Structure 1
Amino acid sequence: MRTSRAIVVSALVLFTLAACGSDAEPAAQSNEIKVGLLHSLSGTMAISEVTVRDAELLAIEEINKAGGVLGKKLVPVAEDGASDWPTFAEKATKLIRQDKVATVFGGWTSASRKAMLPVFERYKALLWYPVQYEGLESSPYIFYTGATTNQQIIPGLDYLKEQGKKKIFLVGSDYVFPRTANKIIKAYAAANGMEILGEEYTPLGHTEYSTLVNKVMQAKPDAVFNTLNGDSNVAFFKQLKSAGATSESMPVLSVSIAEEEVTGIGVDNIVGHPVAWNYYQTTETSANEAFVKAFKAKYGANKVTSDPMEAGYNAVYLWAEAVKKAGTTEVEAVKKAAPGIALERPEGLVTIDGENQHMYKTARIGIIQPDGLIKQVWDSGKPIKPDPYLKGYPWASGLAAS
């Protein structure tokens, strides 16, 4: 099924590209600059992606209030990827060809990014992708503002190792990110004296976890490494708690659950469990205090901020800074201007790496608190250079080709 799904996605991308012609037309001259926002506003991933869109809209509003970009107002054009990867390819093509946006901010799952990648490369358009991912990729037409593997997954594994958690059970959604992440985790485990007791996948949107939870409970791992995405986490954590597991007896380290998802899962079901990210609402920087205040003022006092939405927020500012430096929205000029741009953001200093268009980012481990927020218990001390192909880790040799 995975192979046939990939063929369907590739076929649709190729059909869409062919149908829309060969070259993108230049955007019309005006006092406005259109930018695309492409996220799942419906379907299983809406629990995570709507707020990323909201954070990008906040950044656009702030930039416009400060005078815009090159003296022009940013105008967002929002599309719904509908938690469907061929739809992401279709909507990306529309934004580039029909709406003639200067850039696109979008995606969450690696499946959505993989579906969009050939579109952006075909039309030489720019995508700013805001979510942590499994690495082993770079594209000249994608800027990755979320973490890559050595800025999230490896620090998470280091944390479990330091806590004495040597027997690990892997649980994930059945698509690119979890499967590739777990391939990396297994290589890390083999090199670091850890044992993988089990590896289970379920479709996105899956809600029946009794069988999987039974397997986990019978295996008696020291910890679970969780790469489930979307609202499947709601069912998984509820059923895990009902089976008697606690954060003390069986901590579940998650890399796709942030403050927004905690609210959806229910804090009572997930309190005490660890997460690995680069930013939390509680991160102590002056820029974060202003960001949290502005987000709550726009969307409601009960709203929370999280890593993916902060990375989406950052993406808009980083692109705007590159455009200002380039003096134009022309893609190749923006790409040339981007390397080395460094901004103090809510998470701290973020710098664009010119080698792979990922960001230098600070790794952080946090524990989910009874109030639903996340308390940091460890950080890397300084931004980590992105290493998407794990060239700096001998145990990862050959993973990119496998």
Structure 2
Amino acid sequence: MNTRVGLLFSLTGTTALTEQGQCDAAILAIEHFNQKEMNVEAIVRDICSDPAKSAKEAEALAKDGVKVFIGCYTSACRKAILPVLEKYGCLLVYPTLYEGRECHSNVFYTGEVPNQQVHVLLDYLTEHFGKRVYCIGTDYIYPRETNQQVRTYLAEKKGSVVGEAYVPFGHQTFYDVLEDIIAKRPDAVFTTLVGQSIIPFYRAYRRMGLNPDNLPIFSPITKETEIAAMGADYGAGHYGSASYFQSLQNEYNLHFVSAFHERFGAQQVISSVMFNTYLGTKMILDGIHETGSLDYRDVFYHLSDKKLETACGTVLVEGDHHHLSRPVKIGRAMPDGQFEMVWDSQRNIAPKPFKEKSREPGQLNEIILESWGRISDEAIVVLSERQHIVYMSKKAEELTRLKEGQLLTPTLLQQIHHAFEVHPYGTTGQQMLLLKPKPSVRSSGAPYQFDRIQTLNPEYQLELEVAKLASQSCANVLITGETGTGKEVLVQAIHQQSERKHGPLVAVNTGLLPRELIASEMFGYIEGAFTGAKKGGAIGKFEAANDGTLFLDEIGDMPLDLQIVLLRAIESKRIMRLGENKERAVNVRIIAATNRNLQEEIAYRGSFRSDLFYRLNVLSITIPPLRERPEDVEHLSREFLREFQAVHGDGPGGISDEALQALIQYPWPGNIRELRNVMERAYLLAGQERSAIRVEHLPRALKGYYQRKPRAAEPLKQVERRMIEQVLSETKTITEASKVLGITRSTLYRKLKEFQMTP
């Protein structure tokens, strides 16, 4: 079988330092495989540390028939190609440590997860140095999510994160961060810096006179490759964790290191991510050869529970979630650039990609769920780790029309949250969702008011307090919220309540401006600046908003290469017209708005600059979607009625209780804008009949969501107790009863004690 494999590594870009070695490891594994088995063609693509380029290169290869990919070092790049894997039925070998919280059906994870690397580092750190930790990382998804888990894990150990800092990819200057570290006086530093930023951080650390004996750096990332690049002296004394180190003295590793040096030179150091790349490539190619299939499901099924002796010890493929159970070690960097082992797990540590805390609840019992589902009127959905539906009660099937075995996509999950009150209950490897119809919400009391915006919702009231503060300052403001929530209305309110209310409010939709016109539109131009420039030139939006407010709508859609130009104008408060060499000072207050999650844009796609985000995000206001503030539906509906009476003349003056209840229960994906359109339609229809607005005047889609409250269901604990009583009466021993119930003897004894029952 001839197989083509796409190698997606950054041979240029900020993480090339690490990924070049991974690419070499994948090539070596393919060459070794071709010596004895089949013809595998390696197709190398440089993804340049860019998530968008990763997705583009992966799709081009997938369209050309490539079914196997290896690489994507950063989590942002990995997540960027997941839709490609799903669309074309491809598999990815992901050979890098990562933050966990993911188990994709098309991915084989050969890197460590936090409980195999981060947690053991923290255990060693807190035992030997102390419980006060400073976290420094590159500003993307892996460091931020990893450090969130660091905070959780340290809190369980009565420790704390005393400081936290993030820098953009490729950041080179760390003196300010190190001064903050010195001021906070932690016991150790935990770093998740990646790529080129690692070198200047360790070098600046040493140049500022810090000593690893007193203040060591712990990193799950910095290994032999990074230490060789920075110079061994700078890394000496600091710590790293992994399942593999080049210095391991065993027959398998000596053979692997010899083969690597024979192919790439004796000076080439080998790190854990390189070994994980070699291992993952070898295992997948073996699986393809042994199954004779390129279908990822066949290959993964074949690899499930497979045990392999390797250079890092015995590894086992965990069948449930495509990760490796493996031994783990902690090493202290030596003056020669290699690591001395200071701790060894001496056993395999099973991967727990979804683990955050040490205590985990038990798994849901299927027999009890089945029984409950037959006699209860409550809607129950149970999900696997991979978000597949493993159980549905009869009521849940009726209300959702979903089926067991179906994948609950983020879109479907969002729709469920729109239509129901969702009560999640987490268990080991599963999650149960209890769905309840949204209760009736009627307005009571006077709404909170800021300018002409009113709300009864406590969360939105807090956000409007921030808006009030914003109106009293000149700080930049970032407003986030879904389409139709009223972001522009809030901008107008802030402007009208500010000292700049007599100045202009200039709005510009940055997402709609053609790329070639953004500079001239924002900063203006002089006569003759370009073909078609009008006589006398023109001022741009910044100058037009001088002494007033500039509203940058849909800021998340602005092209990345133009964000730096905007950043400079905001920071310097000076602009230069196109075609002119003279800078002009502007006095402008910036309010930006977006319906995107800019932090995810930074982390997952790299499509928004983190420095621009922090410059805009001085005061942050989030407008809750209308589905999360149903108490506002009634007064908004009546406000729209008064507006339509002024516009259209006589019409319905009220809304029936049933119609109002339907409006309250609807999830409003279009938010206030959709509510306004629905009310105007209903106003015109009811006006023809000279009646109040009734349910029949509402759109069909809205009426479909309206459901009456079901009768009360029997609580789960009562059903569980009754099931245990029934099984105990039908069996002779605790062992027999536990087998019938599908639970362990110890769990059954615990349940008996909980319900104060005797066997």
TM-score above 0.5:
yes
TM superposition shift of 1:378: 0.7
Separation (CA, whole Å) in 2 of partners of 1:255 and 1:185 = 12
Q: Counterpart of 1:352?
A: 317
* 257 and 395 in structure 1: CA distance in 2 versus 1, 3 angstrom threshold: farther
Q: Name the stretch that deviates more: 382-391 or 104-113.
A: 382-391
Separation (CA, whole Å) in 2 of partners of 1:135 and 1:330 = 25
Q: Counterpart of 1:41?
A: 11
Q: Counterpart of 2:42?
A: 76
The structure 2 residue matched to 1:203, chosen from 165, 168, 173, is: 168
* 203 and 193 in structure 1: CA distance in 2 versus 1, 3 angstrom threshold: same
Q: Gapped runs of 5+ residues in structure 1?
A: 1-30
> Aligned with 1:246: secondary structure?
coil
1:77-116 deviations in whole A, cap 9, x for unaligned? Answer: 0101101111111111122112x22311111111111111
Separation (CA, whole Å) in 1 of partners of 2:135 and 2:314 = 32
Preserved CA contact (<8 Å) 2:153 2:357: no
| 2:258 is aligned with 1:293 | yes
Separation (CA, whole Å) in 2 of partners of 1:195 and 1:329 = 47
> Aligned with 1:394: secondary structure?
coil
**Where do 4+ consecutive residues of structure 1 move more than 4 Å?**
395-398
1:284-314 deviations in whole A, cap 9, x for unaligned? Answer: 2211111100000111111111100000000
> Aligned with 2:195: secondary structure?
coil
TM superposition shift of 1:225: 0.5
Preserved CA contact (<8 Å) 2:10 2:48: yes
Separation (CA, whole Å) in 2 of partners of 1:116 and 1:277 = 26
| 2:77 is aligned with 1:112 | yes
Cα RMSD for the two superposed structures: 1.9
TM superposition shift of 1:320: 1.9
TM-score, normalised with respect to structure 2: 0.47
| 2:245 is aligned with 1:280 | yes
Amino acid at match of 2:168: P
Matches for 1:359-378 after TM superposition, within 5 Å: 359-378=324-343
1:356-379 deviations in whole A, cap 9, x for unaligned? Answer: 101111111000010001111111
Amino acid at match of 2:314: L
Amino acid at match of 1:303: Q
Amino acid at match of 2:181: V
Separation (CA, whole Å) in 1 of partners of 2:114 and 2:199 = 25
Amino acid at match of 2:97: Q
Q: Counterpart of 2:156?
A: 191
Matches for 1:307-346 after TM superposition, within 5 Å: 307-346=272-311
What is the identity percentage for the equivalent residue pairs of Structure 1 and Structure 2? 34
Q: Counterpart of 2:21?
A: 51
> Aligned with 2:56: secondary structure?
helix
TM superposition shift of 1:392: 6.8
TM superposition shift of 1:395: 8.3
Q: Name the stretch that deviates more: 105-114 or 320-329.
A: 320-329
Amino acid at match of 1:207: Q
Structure with the larger RCO, 1 or 2 (CA within 8 Å, 6+ apart): 1
Q: Gapped runs of 5+ residues in structure 2?
A: 362-424, 432-759
Matches for 1:81-160 after TM superposition, within 5 Å: 81-98=47-64, 100-160=65-125
Preserved CA contact (<8 Å) 1:191 1:395: no
1:235-277 deviations in whole A, cap 9, x for unaligned? Answer: 1111111111111121000111110110111111121101111
Separation (CA, whole Å) in 2 of partners of 1:82 and 1:160 = 34
The structure 2 residue matched to 1:270, chosen from 235, 243, 254, is: 235
Greater radius of gyration (CA): 2
Preserved CA contact (<8 Å) 1:187 1:395: no
Preserved CA contact (<8 Å) 1:318 1:341: no
TM-score, normalised with respect to structure 1: 0.88
1:125-147 deviations in whole A, cap 9, x for unaligned? Answer: 10000011111111000000010
Preserved CA contact (<8 Å) 2:129 2:188: no
Preserved CA contact (<8 Å) 1:344 1:350: yes
Separation (CA, whole Å) in 1 of partners of 2:156 and 2:262 = 48
TM superposition shift of 1:117: 1.6
Paired residues in the alignment total: 366
TM superposition shift of 1:44: 0.7
